[in-house]
Amino acid sequence: DTEVTQTPKHLVMGMTNKKSLKCEQHMGHRAMYWYKQKAKKPPELMFVYSYEKLSINESVPSRFSPECPNSSLLNLHLHALQPEDSALYLCASSQDRWGRTQGKTQYFGPGTRLLVL
Amino acid sequence: AQSVTQLDSHVSVSEGTPVLLRCNYSSSYSPSLFWYVQHPNKGLQLLLKYTSAATLVKGINGFEAEFKKSETSFHLTKPSAHMSDAAEYFCVVSGSNFGNEKLTFGTGTRLTIIP
């Protein structure tokens, strides 16, 4: 099973709302990723978790707050977003050999399409 | 440092004709190379992956790619296009030697299939 699931599929929120995106995988992967993808562009890395610890933060604004409660789950908490944050948010996971993910395939979920009004 | 160049932003082919999507890369390390496909409003699906075991890599749905080190290329091909192949294709390189390295994505090639 190479499935990564994401909920919700679609989300509309106002700029004062607080919402969360959820991602789950049961492949035993210990690296999990959040990407942001704008229309007609490649995905841009936001965060990487390795063994449930934040490994990479690509200078993402603090209105995005990731959380990895266990090895299967990854959340992205959203607060006070701006209209320009509207995008497809993709979660991915991969194997991780004690902090090394080089060459490991990343498996992507279907994404959450976010619209900020 | 690593980079990926997808040479065509848009490719159109007739159904049943061959597909060629071009990708050139640069990497300071022995790279791992991937092709992902993204259908409209969907996530990314892995088509195939090169990790130095064999230079000709076969993937899903009849796609294959050949790693050519001398040309730093990893072009994606399919002998006969199908309507369901219409999608965005990303060439991706992974090449650092340690740590949680980041994937480097090409800018994508949109494949259109003409009936």
When pLDDT is cut at 50, 70 and 90, the band that residue B1 belongs to is: confident
When pLDDT is cut at 50, 70 and 90, the band that residue A100 belongs to is: low
Q: What is the mean pLDDT of residues A97-113?
A: 81
The continuous run of DSSP H or E covering A89 comes out as strand A87-94
Question: Is the pLDDT reported for residue B97 higher than 60?
Answer: no
pLDDT in tens, A28-64: 999 999 999 999 899 999 999 989 999 888 889 999 9
Do residue B100 and residue A43 have CB atoms under 8 angstroms apart?
no
Phi, psi of B21 (to 5 degrees): -115, 125
Both tokens of A58, joined, read 């690509």
Distance from CA of A102 to the nearest CA of B (A): 6
Both tokens of B71, joined, read 């040309």
Percent of chain B with pLDDT over 70: 94
Residues in chain B: 115
Rounded CA-CA distance A26/A49 in Å is: 15
The continuous run of DSSP H or E covering A32 comes out as strand A31-37
Q: What is the rounded average pLDDT for all residues in chain A?
A: 91
Answer with the residue of higher pLDDT: A92 or A95: A92
> Which residues on chain A place their C-beta less than 8 Å from a C-beta of chain B?
4, 6, 31, 40-43, 45, 48, 50, 55-56, 90, 92, 96, 99-111, 113
Q: What is the mean pLDDT of residues B64-70?
A: 93
Residues 6 or more apart in contact with residue A2 via CB below 8 angstroms: A27, A107
Answer with the residue of higher pLDDT: B97 or A7: A7
Whether the CB of B100 is below 8 Å from some CB of chain A: the reply is yes
CB atoms within 10 A of CB B14: 10
pLDDT in tens, B32-58: 899 999 998 889 999 999 987 788 999
Rounded CA-CA distance B73/B23 in Å is: 6
Give B45's contacts in chain A (Cβ within 8 Å): 108
Q: What angle do CA A51, A56, A59 make, to 5 degrees?
A: 150
pLDDT of B91 reads 97
pLDDT in tens, B21-30: 999 998 877 7
pLDDT of A62 reads 94
pLDDT of A86 reads 97
- Residue found under tokens 């496909």: B37
Question: Is the pLDDT reported for residue B79 higher than 70?
Answer: yes
- Residue found under tokens 């992507």: A108
Specify whether the CB–CB gap between B5 and B24 falls below 8 A: yes
- According to DSSP, the residues that pair with B3 across neighbouring strands are B26
pLDDT of A91 reads 97
